[in-house]
Chains A and B, each alone.
Chain A
Amino acid sequence: MPWLAPRQDELMDREPLILAFCCHYCAYAAADLAGSMRLQYPQNVRVLRLPCTGKIEVNYLLAAFERGVDGVIVAGCLEGGCHFLEGNLRARRRVARAKELLAEIGLEPERLEMFNLSSAEGGRFAEIVTTIVQRLKRLGPSPLRPDPHQIEQALETMTQQAETALAGESHDCCRS
């Protein structure tokens, strides 16, 4: 799932990085509405649209944490209002299971939270993001987040390797 991998510049940032799995029929529309309403909310959230939160699997949530995000939000329709009847109820149970796993792993389960909202609640989406950002600032960065120095070193190594490879290619060109 390469799309779950945060960019290196995002990981270098000290601000909490949040991934939001949003249902197309409610939270995604609410996030869109928040934008249309010019509501301010922290920029730390990356929204991933799903056809329904019932698409969520425990391994999606773990994959996000494994790649170093600080927190994950799952945002689905109000209970009883799922477009596919019970997708959000299934997501709730899967989120609970993932929280148990996070505790076993040694990560704070509070880094993962599920919310229910309707597509008309742009303000609530902004509120949720703000609340989670505050919570994650209190918890601190994920211990699984790569160390900035390691990233710098990795970038340097990658640059050197690329330069060496390029130099080799140009040398080959000259010879031919």
Chain B
Amino acid sequence: MIVADRKKIPEIRELVAKHERVLLVGCGTCVTVCLAGGEREVGILASALRMSLKLAHCSKTRIDECVIERQCEDAFIDVLATRIPEYDAVCSLGCGAGVQALAERFPKTPIYPGLNTQFIGILESQGVWTEKCAGCGNCRLGEFAGICPITRCAKHLLNGPCGGSQEGKCEVNPELECGWQLIYDRASSLGIVDSLQRIVPPHDWSTGLDGGPRKVVREDQCIAGLGPKT
């Protein structure tokens, strides 16, 4: 899932203080699970913002709140359509995709981000999320015993480990587990250490972030006559 965390209150206050009616919009999907933008967090942020605005003598700004099921899909944004004209601005507690989906849908309303979108990751333990995937568009987990060296190695090495791996920890941060140690340990338990002996060719980054926003098209799923959105 996408993991995010909340921006600091003063930063959000600065964004919304110039407007009179502001709607906080939470998202019921990834950011609810990572406790950043669900119903409870929207309530907490709304309350904190109201207090912060009052203390900053910006009492004219009114903060309302709501949560929709999924901000990154137009069909779910429909429920907001009737409410948006009542507001001067929206502060989204969705991920970056959610903020931009709202901005596309409501071109005349300023949409501000309330969260910092961090990464694609998993819940490591209660209250702790870690990055697992860089979304490089060319998954090679099959070559590395199911552990991604691009994400888990601090140097993104495909032919590791480097000389800085000491007792399973990384020289970049002694608290960080060495990604390549994890790869070798797992490969050992699977009995496929031999497969790590070959020199891995450079990664094909053409599927990565360079070259503008990426797009996945499934022609068989596109509605006839409409084609993919250009």
Contacts and interface: CB of A to CB of B under 8 A. Distances in A.
A105 interface: yes
- Candidate in B44, B48, B54 with the most chain A CB atoms within 10 angstroms: B48
Contacts of B51: 62, 65-66, 105-107, 144
B203 to A, nearest CB: 40
A106 B40 CA distance: 21
Interface string B148-177: 000000000000000000000000000000
Contact of B47 (A62, A104, A106, A143): A62
A63 interface: yes
B48 A144 contact: no
Contacts of A59: 40, 43-44, 47
A144 B52 CA distance: 9
B44 A144 contact: no
Contacts of A58: 44
A65 B40 CA distance: 17
A62 B48 contact: yes
Nearest to A106: B55
B228 interface: no
B50 interface: yes
A10 interface: no
Interface string B47-79: 110111011100000000000000000000000
Contacts of B10: 104
A49 to B, nearest CB: 23
Contacts of A57: 40
A76 B107 CA distance: 50
Interface string B25-50: 00000000000000010011001101
Interface residues on B, range: 10 to 19
B197 to A, nearest CB: 47
B8 interface: yes
B47 A107 contact: no
A139 interface: no
Interface string A100-133: 0100111100000000000000000000000000
A101 B40 CA distance: 14
Contact of A62 (B8, B44, B54, B55): B44
A102 B54 CA distance: 13
A104 B55 contact: no
A82 to B, nearest CB: 18
A120 B10 CA distance: 43
A106 B54 CA distance: 10
Nearest to A93: B127
Contacts of B43: 59
Given A62-B48, A104-B52, 13 more contacts: A59-B40, A59-B44, A62-B44, A62-B47, A66-B47, A66-B51, A101-B44, A101-B48, A104-B10, A105-B9, A105-B52, A143-B54, A144-B51
Interface of A: 57-59, 62-63, 65-66, 101, 104-107, 143-144
Interface of B: 8-10, 40, 43-44, 47-48, 50-52, 54-56
19 contacts: A57-B40, A59-B40, A59-B44, A63-B47, A66-B47, A66-B51, A101-B44, A104-B8, A104-B9, A104-B10, A104-B52, A105-B48, A105-B51, A105-B52, A106-B56, A107-B51, A107-B55, A143-B54, A143-B55
